[in-house]
Every structure is written in C-alpha cells, then in structure tokens.
C-alpha cells in the first residue's frame, strides 16, 4: 500500500510517499514545494493543488494523510494552513483518494513516542523508521513523511475514522446516531431540569408525607418561610 503524507501550508508544502508491505515501510519520494511570496494567494493555491494532483497521478496512493490544525496561537498561521488544506483535500476528493488526518501531536507520538518532540527528533526518528541513509530535509518533508508513517500504521481494514466531537473542520463527519458525548450532555441537561423543577416546586420530589417543617418549595425550608417574588 502506498501512502502520501502532506504537511500543509501556503508558503511551503511538504510531501512524503512511503510504501507499506506487511509491517515494513520504505520511502519512495519526498520533498517540499515552496511558493513565492510575490505571487497572489490564489496562484499559490493553484500551484499546491497541481502538486498534489501530479503526485496522486504519478504514484497512485491508496491513502492520503494530512495534518489538521487542532489549535494555533497564531491566527495567521492557522489561516494559511487552512488555505493549503483546502486545496489538498480538493485534489484528493477529485482523484477519489481517501483522506486520513491527525494532529501534530498524534503524528509525533507515532514516530517518536513523544507528543512534544522537536523538529530534529522527528527527523531522526523518520530516518530510523524508514531506514534512510541521511536525515530527510527540509523539515516540511520530514513532517510529511511522519504523517505518512502515522497513516500507514493507523489504518485498519474496514474501520471508519471519524472526527473528534468538537472538531467541525475535520474531514470525516460524525457518525450518525447518539454518541457517548451526546448522551452525557442529554443526561446532564435532564438532571439540571429536574433540579430546577424541584427547586421551584413545580415537580413532585416525594412520594410520601413530607418531613415536618418542610415546604414544597425546597428541602429543609421551615414552615412559614418563603421566597419573595416580584
């Protein structure tokens, strides 16, 4: 199985192609496309789209892995990555290539076992995993190879990989039906409604006689006490 990994962006886009045979992985090709800052954004996106289309047509990957932005302190960086991801996903959809996506931390854990690994550590572990004679450069290419490694190891036959509950920008939509998260929210809201109803005295809280001195408006309220309302 051939996997294409992409490290998205607009200034630079890393790509890495690997082949999985059984449990073994080998690198096929990797590199990075750098777009000129003098070009208008639409032209830079056209170049990125053309690169991904060419790689898909040349190598016929079974899967395309791409990083997704889980959070970013820099809004401009997140926006740039989002632009790049958009045309990458478009190229994959036009070619009918399934997409898998992971956060940077998930990718780092897959190749180094440490979610906060730095660029040098990722490069070194990618070199070891793929048996490369030298460190993969540039950094964007090493990151793309790491994404491809994560994708190749993560894939399971017949498994549907859905997005996180709150990740509405992810590729895979949420599965139909009630999720555990949805159920927990629903049950929590029901408990809150019951508590409010009991507090206001609009819902029965006892099936037998009330303790002496307790009013319907609340547990433990002395007789004759009440809440003034305007």
- Which residues have a catalytic role annotated? 7, 67, 140
Q: For residue 178, say if its preceding peptide bond is cis, omega within 30 degrees of 0.
A: no
The full length of the chain comes to 230
Inter-residue contact 8 to 66 (CB < 8 Å): yes
First to last CA, the chain: 72
Distance CA 139, CA 18 (A): 17
Alpha helices in 60-179 (DSSP H): 75-95, 104-112, 119-130, 139-154
Inter-residue contact 82 to 90 (CB < 8 Å): no
* Strand pairing report for 12-21 and 99-102: unpaired
Distance CA 7, CA 123 (A): 14
CA distances to 22, 130, 209 from 124, in Å: 23, 10, 73
Distance CA 25, CA 131 (A): 9
Q: Distance between alpha carbon 57 and the CA centroid of its chain, in Å? A: 26
């Amino acid at each position: 199985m051939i996997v294409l990994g992409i490290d998205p962006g607009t200034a630079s886009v890393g790509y890495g192609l690997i082949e999985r045979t059984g449990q073994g992985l080998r690198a096929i090709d990797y590199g990075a496309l750098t777009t000129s800052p003098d070009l208008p954004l639409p032209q830079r996106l056209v170049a990125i789209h053309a690169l991904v289309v060419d790689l898909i047509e040349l190598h016929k990957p079974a899967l395309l892995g791409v990083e997704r932005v889980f959070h970013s302190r820099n809004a401009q960086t997140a926006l740039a990555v989002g632009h790049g991801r958009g045309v990458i996903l478009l190229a994959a959809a036009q070619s009918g290539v399934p997409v898998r996506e992971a956060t940077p931390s998930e990718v780092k854990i897959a190749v180094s076992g440490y979610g906060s690994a730095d660029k040098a550590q990722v490069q070194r572990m990618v070199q070891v995993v793929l048996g490369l004679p030298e460190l993969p450069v540039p950094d964007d290419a090493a990151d793309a190879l790491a994404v491809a490694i994560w994708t190749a190891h993560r894939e399971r036959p017949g498994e549907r990989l859905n997005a996180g509950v709150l990740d509405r920008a992810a590729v895979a939509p949420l599965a139909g039906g009630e999720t555990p998260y949805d159920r927990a929210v629903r049950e929590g809201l029901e408990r809150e409604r019951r508590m409010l109803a009991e507090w206001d005295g609009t819902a029965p809280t006892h099936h037998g006689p009330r303790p002496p001195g307790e009013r319907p408006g609340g547990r433990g309220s002395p007789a004759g006490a009440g809440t003034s309302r305007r």
